[in-house]
Amino acid sequence: MKLSMLFPETRDIRVVRELAVRSEEQGFHGMWLGAAFGFDPVMALALAGDATSSIQLGVAVLPTWPRHPIVTAQQAATASAATGGRFRLGLGPSHEPVMSMYGIPFDRPISHLREYLEIVRALLADGQVSHQGDRYQVTGFLDVADAPVPPVLLGVLREQTARLAGAVSDGALCWLAPAPYLHDVVGPNLEAGSTEVGRVTPPLIAELPCALGTDREALHAMAASDLGIYPQMPFYRAMFKAAGVPLDKGRWTDEMLDAAVIHGDEDQIAAKVGAFFEAGADEVVLSPFGLGDDPAGSQQDCIRILSDLAKG
């Protein structure tokens, strides 16, 4: 059972290194970093590479629009070399409201992603690329020694990105997707995309928040504070609607919490994690959050429970 950790913060480089070391000691398969507005997560994980020896280190997910694909390939190759081949690169288009903050047009994300992934994967695998597409016209090479080729994964929410992930990526990263939706929508489309091009279906990785506790009021307070942006984002709202999960006006509903946040006591958490593996996930990645008056202590208790689960 591949059970991994996801931490959203990259605001302290030293903490990233400590989290990587601790996650390895606690028996987790991998550690993922978010890529919002802190330190660059690729560089942060590269710096953590020499402090660890076995844990997989990945970014979930790096926005594509602000970075040229050649630069992304350079970063990924550097991190792969620094971690001894344990780096995983997750890519995604982010969201229109975020890209509008950067002044970047958010136009036809599927065709953008297809070309972007093709360029990055060609550079990492072959060291060179000649791509003349609608979105990118790129001729370049990557001259790096002793850099293992890292897997390039795609953030997936709906059918089109799942099919694209199956066709041109090394895996699908699904944040907040309920287990039945993974089983009924993401998995079949991931397989269909790979079948269309005659390749093996890549891994399906489920990513979810996790909290140890049953207090519904405390869960809602945590979701409003730490996850409040997601019910307001069009892509996530569309995914929840397609999954049949009732929505509110930009707020977490009870149904959303139960579908997309792993929570409960120790046995309930274990059962809910198991449901995602049964739904077809090859790896489950959990982002631990604290509840109540002592959120830091609650978070550490949550991580302890998950560590025991990871060790079997």
**Residue 234: which CATH number?**
3.20.20.30
Within this chain, do residues 59 and 24 fall inside the same structural domain, yes or no?
yes
Domain end among 110, 127, 153:
153
Task: Decide which of 11 and 30 is more confident.
Answer: 30
Within this chain, do residues 167 and 261 fall inside the same structural domain, yes or no?
yes
Q: How many domains does the chain have?
A: 2
Within this chain, do residues 137 and 84 fall inside the same structural domain, yes or no?
yes
| 87-91, 125-129, 199-203: the lowest-pLDDT one | 125-129
Q: Specify whether the CB–CB gap between 115 and 131 falls below 8 A.
A: yes
**What single-letter DSSP state applies at residue 202?**
P
As a whole number, the mean pLDDT across the chain is 93
Domain end among 134, 153, 172:
153
pLDDT at 103 over 80: no
Within this chain, do residues 194 and 264 fall inside the same structural domain, yes or no?
yes
Query: How far is CA 271 from each of CA 80, 120, 165, 257, 263, rounded to the nearest angstrom?
Result: 34, 38, 28, 16, 10
E-state strands within 215-261: none
Within this chain, do residues 125 and 176 fall inside the same structural domain, yes or no?
no
Within this chain, do residues 129 and 261 fall inside the same structural domain, yes or no?
no
Query: Residue 280: which domain range?
Result: 156-312
Q: Specify whether the CB–CB gap between 117 and 256 falls below 8 A.
A: no
pLDDT, tens digit (0-9, with 9 covering 90-100), for 228-258: 999 988 889 999 999 999 999 889 999 999 9
In this predicted structure, what is the pLDDT of residue 279? 98
Within this chain, do residues 243 and 295 fall inside the same structural domain, yes or no?
yes
Q: What is the mean pLDDT of residues 175-202?
A: 98
Domain end among 153, 188, 213:
153
pLDDT at 145 over 90: no
Within this chain, do residues 209 and 263 fall inside the same structural domain, yes or no?
yes
Q: What is the mean pLDDT of residues 306-310?
A: 97
Query: Which token pair is 120?
Result: 């990055």
Q: How many helices (H) and strands (E) does the chain have?
A: 13, 11
In this predicted structure, what is the pLDDT of residue 106? 67
pTM beyond 0.75: the answer is yes
pLDDT at 99 over 70: no
Coil, helix or strand at residue 286? strand
Within this chain, do residues 77 and 193 fall inside the same structural domain, yes or no?
no
In this predicted structure, what is the pLDDT of residue 261? 98
Within this chain, do residues 161 and 295 fall inside the same structural domain, yes or no?
yes
Q: Tell me phi and psi for residue 156, to 5 degrees.
A: -130, 135
pLDDT at 37 over 80: no
Within this chain, do residues 192 and 231 fall inside the same structural domain, yes or no?
yes
Which of 237-269 are b and which e, b meaning 16 or more Cβ less than 10 Å from the residue's Cβ? eebbeebebebeeeebbebbbbbbbbbbeeeeb
**What single-letter DSSP state applies at residue 183?**
I
Q: Name residues whose C-beta falls within 8 Å of residue 271's C-beta, 6 or more positions apart in sequence.
A: none
pLDDT at 225 over 90: yes
Q: Specify whether the CB–CB gap between 158 and 132 falls below 8 A.
A: no
By C-alpha distance, which of 155, 170, 150 is closest to 76?
A: 150
Q: What is the mean pLDDT of residues 49-61?
A: 95
Within this chain, do residues 125 and 165 fall inside the same structural domain, yes or no?
no
| Reported confidence tier of residue 95, pLDDT bands at 50, 70, 90 | low
By C-alpha distance, which of 230, 264, 235, 266 is closest to 250?
A: 230
Q: Tell me phi and psi for residue 205, to 5 degrees.
A: -120, 120
